Amino acid sequence: MPSPLLSNSRIGLTLVMGVLLTSPHLRAQSSTLELQGTLGISAHLVELRGERAYVAAEDTLQVVDVSDPAQPTARGTLTTPGRIWGLHIEEPYVYLAGGLEGLHIIDVTDPNAPALLATHPTAGQALGVTTSGATAMVVNLMTGLEVVDISDRTTPTLLSTHETPGYQWGIGGDGSRVFVVDQPSGLHLFDTSDPTVPVPVGVHATEQPAQAVALGEGGRAYLIAPRAGIIEIVDIGDPAAPRRVGSYQPSGPFQRVAVEGFDLIVPIGEAGVEVIDVSDPSAPTRVTTYDTPGQAQDVSVSGDLVAVADGDSLLLLRSR
């Protein structure tokens, strides 16, 4: 198992709510993506929230004003002690998985001056984080799931841990339900209603080693297996009995995926991004592609706006 310190893997997670028959998604709106604006900053990870984009590259977090997508504007920056492996946004706070440094909690009330409130040291290498209310859940590769009390964000406190059999690479959250990606055993589902005692609910044994999970509509999880080049679609409607319902092989190398309704938006390196219709999980269909000028590494979606972390720039695309 290669150390993530030597890879470009990042656990990424975008959870988007919508209903297929009542809310438009990218495919329903359009089959094209059009460039709106660019910003020349280093961009490896990105999350959209309202009129802001949060962009990370190596050890730097950048806040970007995207209220006018044609003219994105850089706001404040923050440098962390080590590389940023994952980010999770619950404004006015940003939670960063900081590798061997642990979990960083950032206050972005003033977007021009993001402030580090606290760092919670993890026993292993923090690779991903999600939150539910006053609780943060962190995966740290070697020692499993850590549940952290963040009711006082200046003094995060460890509540409990729960190990899975292998290496914990990715995490996703839906309220008190938490999904941990373990290599090689698969996707582990936990109930954290009592954060002091996470309860294992179910396990899905993946066909290929996965590194991340994204949660979507229809009670689905999308397991990302970059080395195998596969996105596995899993029905998690019954958490005790998750089952595979389909898969898709992107047309280029990928490590992350965003979800909007029943569309997947996949960054595929030099080839840009592609949009996949997964309304029928047994027959995913590519809808459109957009060739970015750099190396598309991460994407985030909000309505019809798509943000792409393209290596040396942030791109803002609009679906038409």
Task: Give me the tens of pLDDT residue by residue for the chain, a chain 320 residues long.
Answer: 344 433 333 333 333 333 333 334 554 444 789 999 999 999 999 999 999 999 999 999 999 999 999 999 999 999 999 999 999 999 999 999 999 999 999 999 999 999 999 999 998 899 999 999 999 999 998 888 999 999 999 999 999 999 999 999 999 998 899 999 999 999 999 999 999 999 999 999 998 899 999 999 889 999 999 999 999 999 999 999 999 999 999 999 999 999 999 999 999 999 999 999 999 999 999 999 999 999 999 999 998 999 999 999 999 999 88
Give the position of tokens 């977007």.
111
Q: Choose among 126, 89, 103: nearest CA to 13.
A: 89
pLDDT value for 218:
87
Q: Choose among 251, 232, 265: nearest CA to 26.
A: 265
pLDDT value for 26:
53
Tell me, rounded to whole angstroms, the distance of Cα 228 from its chain centroid.
19
pLDDT value for 208:
87
Give the position of tokens 């999600």.
130
Q: Where are the domains of the chain?
A: 8-319
pLDDT value for 6:
34
| Dihedral over Cα of 16, 72, 92, 122: its sign | positive
CB atoms within 10 A of CB 212: 26
Provide the CATH topology of domain 8-319.
Answer: Methylamine Dehydrogenase; Chain H (2.130.10)
CB 83, CB 58: distance < 8 Å = yes
pLDDT value for 227:
92
Give the position of tokens 């590259």.
57
pLDDT value for 20:
31
CB 210, CB 11: distance < 8 Å = no
Distance CA 245, CA 235 (A): 6
User: Cis bond leading into 250, ω under 30°?
Assistant: no
pLDDT value for 155:
98
